[in-house]
Structure 1
């Protein structure tokens, strides 16, 4: 009798009612639009996982607008990746696709699947398309996937009906990044012709481009990056609104950027390990940079350049005035430290608004002996240079003299960052080598390094760290 009175107590009945309320899934009762909004804030892997929550959630993720398959491990067999990607695409029932991204080693063997992936992305009006098929050793693009003409070209439809849905689908593409994917000259032109809204076009490790050009001006393109285009001999680009251009490859390429008054960022990096005829010391260095980009140099705000391009300059006074340059990075590669210091000094003297200087010296063994004299320009105190970063520091005479020169000739310098570790540049990324290149018998060099640094520090004004 006592037990029955306890079970019927009003407080216990209220507790049971509260438990029923807590057990009810209120999130699943939300409208489809709100559930889709929740899923859109997750990664693709997390979004797919929501399908196991309940029947209500089973198909919410199929309208997920960001298909980023970067979470699929590179250790997977390629067949496994292809199967998983195809399964997701079969279930996709969304509208406009914001992003489609695959990062996994792929080859021409999977051509039919890749063709369909690109067609799928463009049919769903993708905004960002990235295919990164690198990751395993290949010989200069051998067996790369080749983009066929029909994937991006709809010539018959364009001639007969420019309002065709297949043509409209390219208008949404704003960002295209291809790595270890081969393009022909014709496909390059078709992409720039059909993708009229394209703003960023990055192409890495490509075979197939030889004489690349776009026949009609592209009014939206802002950034073009070409890295490791092994067969490229000539590039002609019509992009009046281009802001950033990067080229990394051999020096024999003719680069013709026509009518780009807004160009503000330039990166010219000469690779030294691709072929024997790409040695950094060559007689056309000055022509490469000054003849092809001379009209843009005074307008640049940021410049990354290989010192090798200045090898044949006998008179550095030929350098123009870099009226707007604020950031300068010089990669020495295997060029001499003396040349790197000279180029830096003369550009500084011609760049009154420069704020940041980066010198990446080669990891060659330093010599503490006086050799050929270091000729540095005389200049009035620089008013804007605030920071200097120097990697590959070996306490050689040239570098020490150059740093002392900077301390003496700048009024605004606030920080000098020195690192003994050398760096390697790959595209936009700078990789620090994980070990010093000094030999065991160079311990004395380390001591001299410390002594010379102390001398420079003592000369520095109090506000320089």
Structure 2
């Protein structure tokens, strides 16, 4: 007995929503009930996966050209008939069409399909129509930009060209243009006639030189990424909360000063100077998230904010000095060299440090240890390294310098090229000098994550000071480590070396779980 077909229609439609388009279509042949549910299903997604499964058929190279053309014709006819049915019922809420084509005559077919969609009062429209002929674009029908019902519009690979005489997307809340050709005049007309827009994304677009937005009071989020001809960004959006920009190391004038409500600012490959940063940052009193990546004109910056919570500084290669005064900062990521660094962030919980290697010598290690000491109050600290070898501090420096992270509770080392890494016991030895009293230590590589959990015995006296740690504010692990639990160390030789290391160095060690219990 088919009890599933007896379920209420909203539940059956929910089942369809969880299936790929191809499988959803197949349910229509199960029974009249399923055919009715499919006909009234408000979501149609004809993406590349759908068309490739029907058209490409690369597994059967013996298929004749007429047979393949017959399949294409049947497929296009099915799409058209489906759209006609839904148009009559005005039942499409979300529609996706993603397809590539060579034959220019197909453009009129897609124009007709889009016309059916607009007659059905579609809410969410996603069109990615790629012409596989050099230098040609699919010209978007002007009616799309006058669709009063559309609340979400995503366009890819098409051309928006003049004249569009009646642009009026009165219900539009989210606009995404990806790899689209659009010139300044039509863009200005478009954004000026979308009074309800809240979210805007332009990525990889051609033709656009000036991105100017004025007076959109509901606009909350903007992303402008990799638009190759862009020369100017002018934002006057009083309620804008998030702005992301990614350039191409090309000069681009950016003005965000009027955006007083900004909470998230992310700039990548932006040609901004110290002066630009100073003038803008002071205008964002509510900023909580700041990310600066590959901004190669920055040299010396000062970040002072009581609201800033998350900060990323990544590959800003010409930075020589950073000063951070952010009492509410809880997360910090840094990828760069060991530069003079000032940090006042008592609430910092998580830090992630990846040093870009230059010359690794004694002076570099001294600078690294000084740099890391700024993060001594961070609860969780992650170090990233290509091989891990630069994290093995020379013994002569350990004898003359203080460990930088004696208050860090959880230390992690991420190794990007584990095949070039040094021995695990060497890394553990150095990391336990860098952070001499952690609760957990993680060494992550392509072979998994080795985990070390430590239990300490409370001591008031160090006893014999053979490790030279009298000047450290806390008793180091050698004097008070009582139990160790180790996970994900599987190779016998590695296990033996770690076992020997801990038994020889921990003065009062009683138990090791996960390694050999004795030498």
TM-score range for the pair, normalised by the shorter chain length: 0.5 to 0.7
- After superposition, residues 121-200 of structure 1 pair within 5 angstroms as 121-132=117-128, 142-147=135-140, 151-153=144-146, 170-200=169-199
CA contact 1:395–1:452 (8 Å) conserved in 2:
no
1:286: which partner in 2?
274
Please state how far the C-alpha of 1:188 moved relative to its aligned partner.
Answer: 2.1
1 or 2, which has the higher strand percentage?
A: 2
Change (3 A) 1:261 1:37: same
- Tell which deviates more after alignment, 98-107 or 223-232: 98-107
Q: C-alpha separation between the residues in 2 aligned to 1:66 and 1:242?
A: 31
2:461: which partner in 1?
none
CA contact 2:99–2:130 (8 Å) conserved in 1:
yes
Change (3 A) 1:234 1:48: same
Alignment counterpart, residue 292 of structure 2, candidates 281, 305, 323: 305
SS in 2 for 1:324: coil
Please state how far the C-alpha of 1:208 moved relative to its aligned partner.
Answer: 1.6
SS in 1 for 2:379: coil
CA contact 2:260–2:284 (8 Å) conserved in 1:
no
CA contact 1:407–1:413 (8 Å) conserved in 2:
no
Change (3 A) 1:181 1:395: same
1:52: which partner in 2?
29
1 or 2, which has the higher helix percentage?
A: 1
Please state how far the C-alpha of 1:264 moved relative to its aligned partner.
Answer: 1.1
CA contact 1:180–1:205 (8 Å) conserved in 2:
yes
Q: Are positions 1:401 and 2:367 aligned together? A: yes
Q: Are positions 1:92 and 2:86 aligned together? A: yes
2:403: which partner in 1?
none
Change (3 A) 1:115 1:42: same
1:462: which partner in 2?
438
CA contact 1:297–1:322 (8 Å) conserved in 2:
no
CA contact 2:90–2:120 (8 Å) conserved in 1:
yes
CA contact 2:308–2:328 (8 Å) conserved in 1:
yes
- After superposition, residues 145-294 of structure 1 pair within 5 angstroms as 145-147=138-140, 151-153=144-146, 170-214=169-213, 217-250=215-248, 251-257=250-256, 259-270=258-269, 285-291=273-279, 293-294=280-281
Which is higher, the Rg of structure 1 or of structure 2? 2
SS in 1 for 2:204: strand
Please state how far the C-alpha of 1:246 moved relative to its aligned partner.
Answer: 1.2
- For structure 2, the 5+ residue unaligned runs are 57-68, 149-164, 388-414, 442-519
- Provide the TM-score with structure 1 as the length reference: 0.64
Q: Are positions 1:101 and 2:65 aligned together? A: no
Please state how far the C-alpha of 1:256 moved relative to its aligned partner.
Answer: 2.8
Change (3 A) 1:285 1:74: farther
- Provide the TM-score with structure 2 as the length reference: 0.59
Q: C-alpha separation between the residues in 1 aligned to 2:115 and 2:256?
A: 30
Change (3 A) 1:463 1:122: farther
Q: C-alpha separation between the residues in 2 aligned to 1:117 and 1:238?
A: 37
Please state how far the C-alpha of 1:35 moved relative to its aligned partner.
Answer: 4.6
Please state how far the C-alpha of 1:327 moved relative to its aligned partner.
Answer: 1.7
